[in-house]
Structure 1
Amino acid sequence: MQRIAIVSQKGGPGKTTTAVNLAAGLALSGADVLVVDVEPQAQAGTALGTRLDQSTLHLSLGLKLQLAAQGMPSGLEDVVIDRTEILAKWPNHGRLALLASEQRTMVNAQHILHAAGKERTHVLGELLDSLDEDFDYAILDTPPAVEALNAVSLAASDYALTLCLPKHATVEGAVAMRATIKHLPGQATQPKPKYLGAVLNMSKPVSEWKEEEIEVRDLMVDAGLLPFVTDIREDTRISRSYDAGVPSVVGFARHACGKRYAELLREVLFRMDTPESEWQIAPSASEVLEAKEDSVV
């Protein structure tokens, strides 16, 4: 099972929508995919039409993490929630499943992991090992980098990608996140995750670029964030998909937002399988604008 963490230094850049759309896209292609919701706000579950309540609290990944952090690990098979029904109208799909979060249990897990320190950093990875033969991919929706839950998510992952919005502060956060990934202590059994690049989320078409978006696009290239060529445009269908519990790549597969997530997935898979020297990197905004001016002339 290949594990991909969607990470950022702070909340808000679109980790959840990116995670569930990549996961659903993989499942549409025939893969068996597990979404791992490590975020106390439990947004990945909501985006897949699932909310834990008192009657289903025993299914929270937070409870499993609490036990593992205290040296009492158990398997995850009994808390996997199947969401393959989301893909029902599409032929030849694989499996889509969820390890769900719940705020109180996940916050408690966060406190226990923080107190346990580095000794328990690999508990999530060890838990996911119990599902290694059941899934082709795991997509981890993570909390902000300041939390211990982020550290255990990265330690459990083979790959990581981060996100920016057309805001200066998000570029600084992505640079810090890449540095965090670069300096993670790797082990022979679980090396540090491979950094895949940064996605620009909630972007505008070229004709609507404002000064800040132009500067952000330039900064993403100049700062070595290796931005993906495919950006995710601002689109109300994405928030509607979240509310409906059906990712855009499924519910709006024939619309621009669904197609962009599908194209982003193709880039992610290519970068996973090839060395960085072969990646196509998004051009800077300055290069795009200069090319546009030249074509007019």
Structure 2
Amino acid sequence: MDKIVVVSQKGGPGKTTTAVNLGAGLALTGERVLVVDVEPQAQAGIALGIRLDKAKRHLSLGLKLQAAAQGVDVSLDDIVIDRTEILSKWRGHGRLAVVASEQFTMANAQHILHAEGKGAVGVLRDLLDDLDEQFDYAVIDTPPAVEALNAVALAASDYAVTLCLPKHATVEGAVAMRSTIKHVRERTGIADPKYLGAILNMSAPPSEWTSEEIEVRNLMVDVGLMPFVTDIRDDTRISRSYDSGVPSVIGFARHACGKRYAELLQEVLDRMDSDESEWAIAPTADQVLGYDEKEEADV
């Protein structure tokens, strides 16, 4: 099972919508996919139509992480929730399932993992390895990088993607996140995730670029974030998909937002299977707008 983690230094850039759409997109292609919600706000589960209230708290990943961190032998088998039904209109689909979270239990897990330190950082990886024969991919949604849960998610991963918004501060955060990914092996001793690049999320079409978005697009290339060619445009259908529990790559597959997630997924898969030197990288905004050619003509 290949494990892909979606990470950022701070909250808000769209980790959850990215994770569930990558996972749902993989399932549409016939793969067996598990979305893993490591975020205390439990948004990945909600985005797939699962909300764990107090009566269903026993299904939370948080309880499993607490037990595993304290040396109890546990399995995820009994909390995997199948969501393949949302793929039913599509031929050739695979399996889509989620391991959901709940705020109270995940907050407790966060405290226990922090207290246990490096000795507990591999608990999620071990739990997912036990499901290796059941799934082809796990896509992991994460909290901000400052939390112990983020470290546990990174230690469970084989591949990592990060995100930027058309805001300067998010570029700095993505650079810090790439550095964190680079040092996972020395900090955990159990994982060495391959950095796959940065996604520009909630972007605008070129005709509507602000000066800040132009600068961000240029910076993402200049500082070596290896941005994906496919950006995800700001689209109300994406938030509507979250509310409906059906990711837009499924619910709006024939619309622009669904197609963009499908194109992004293909780029992710291509990068997983190739060397960084072979990757297609997004052009700078200056290149898109023809500024480079204009400067050369003026020389």
TM beyond 0.5: yes
Q: Which residue of 2 aligns with 1:289?
A: 289
Question: Identity of aligned pairs, percent?
Answer: 75
Using the TM superposition, name which of 176-185 and 283-292 deviates more.
Answer: 283-292
* Distance 1:98-1:284 versus aligned 2 partners, 3 A rule: same
Please show how residues 34-53 of structure 1 align to structure 2 within 5 Å: 34-53=34-53
Secondary structure of the corresponding residue to residue 227 of structure 1 = coil
Q: Which residue of 2 aligns with 1:84?
A: 84
Q: Structure 1 residue 148 and structure 2 residue 148: aligned?
A: yes
Secondary structure of the corresponding residue to residue 143 of structure 1 = coil
Please show how residues 105-144 of structure 1 align to structure 2 within 5 Å: 105-144=105-144
Q: Which residue of 2 aligns with 1:14?
A: 14
Q: Which residue of 2 aligns with 1:248?
A: 248
Secondary structure of the corresponding residue to residue 185 of structure 1 = helix
The letter of the residue matching 2:214 is I
Please show how residues 219-238 of structure 1 align to structure 2 within 5 Å: 219-238=219-238
How far apart are the structure 2 equivalents of 1:235 and 1:293?
31
The letter of the residue matching 2:119 is E
Secondary structure of the corresponding residue to residue 130 of structure 2 = helix
Please show how residues 263-278 of structure 1 align to structure 2 within 5 Å: 263-278=263-278
Secondary structure of the corresponding residue to residue 185 of structure 2 = coil
The letter of the residue matching 1:117 is G
Q: Which residue of 1 aligns with 2:73?
A: 73
Q: Structure 1 residue 207 and structure 2 residue 210: aligned?
A: no
Q: Structure 1 residue 279 and structure 2 residue 279: aligned?
A: yes
- Encode CA deviations 1:198-238: one digit per residue, 9 max, x unaligned: 00000000000010000000110011000000000000000
How far apart are the structure 1 equivalents of 2:109 and 2:130?
19
Displaced runs of 4 or more, over 4 A:
186-189, 291-294
Task: Return the offset for 1:183.
Answer: 1.3
Task: Return the offset for 1:187.
Answer: 9.3
**Are 1:241 and 1:247, in contact at CA under 8 Å, matched by a contact in 2?**
yes
**Are 1:64 and 1:73, in contact at CA under 8 Å, matched by a contact in 2?**
no
Q: Which residue of 1 aligns with 2:171?
A: 171
Secondary structure of the corresponding residue to residue 50 of structure 2 = coil
For normalisation by structure 2, the TM-score amounts to 0.96
Q: Which residue of 2 aligns with 1:257?
A: 257
**Are 1:73 and 1:127, in contact at CA under 8 Å, matched by a contact in 2?**
no
**Are 2:121 and 2:188, in contact at CA under 8 Å, matched by a contact in 1?**
no
How far apart are the structure 2 equivalents of 1:225 and 1:269?
17
How far apart are the structure 2 equivalents of 1:174 and 1:72?
35
- Encode CA deviations 1:56-83: one digit per residue, 9 max, x unaligned: 1111000000001111131110110000
Secondary structure of the corresponding residue to residue 199 of structure 1 = strand
Q: Which residue of 1 aligns with 2:193?
A: 193
The letter of the residue matching 2:36 is V
* Distance 1:88-1:186 versus aligned 2 partners, 3 A rule: farther
Count, aligned residues: 295
**Are 1:174 and 1:225, in contact at CA under 8 Å, matched by a contact in 2?**
yes
For normalisation by structure 1, the TM-score amounts to 0.97
The letter of the residue matching 1:36 is V
How far apart are the structure 1 equivalents of 2:98 and 2:140?
10
How far apart are the structure 2 equivalents of 1:186 and 1:276?
21
The letter of the residue matching 1:119 is G
Secondary structure of the corresponding residue to residue 160 of structure 2 = strand
How far apart are the structure 1 equivalents of 2:217 and 2:155?
29
Secondary structure of the corresponding residue to residue 143 of structure 2 = coil
- Encode CA deviations 1:23-73: one digit per residue, 9 max, x unaligned: 000000000000000000000011000101122111100000000111113
**Are 2:156 and 2:191, in contact at CA under 8 Å, matched by a contact in 1?**
no
**Are 2:286 and 2:292, in contact at CA under 8 Å, matched by a contact in 1?**
no
Supply the RMSD in Å over aligned alpha carbons.
1.6
Task: Return the offset for 1:191.
Answer: 3.2
How far apart are the structure 2 equivalents of 1:292 and 1:218?
12
Task: Return the offset for 1:289.
Answer: 1.0
How far apart are the structure 1 equivalents of 2:12 and 2:160?
17
How far apart are the structure 1 equivalents of 2:197 and 2:266?
13
How far apart are the structure 2 equivalents of 1:176 and 1:134?
34
* Distance 1:189-1:172 versus aligned 2 partners, 3 A rule: closer
How far apart are the structure 2 equivalents of 1:186 and 1:83?
36
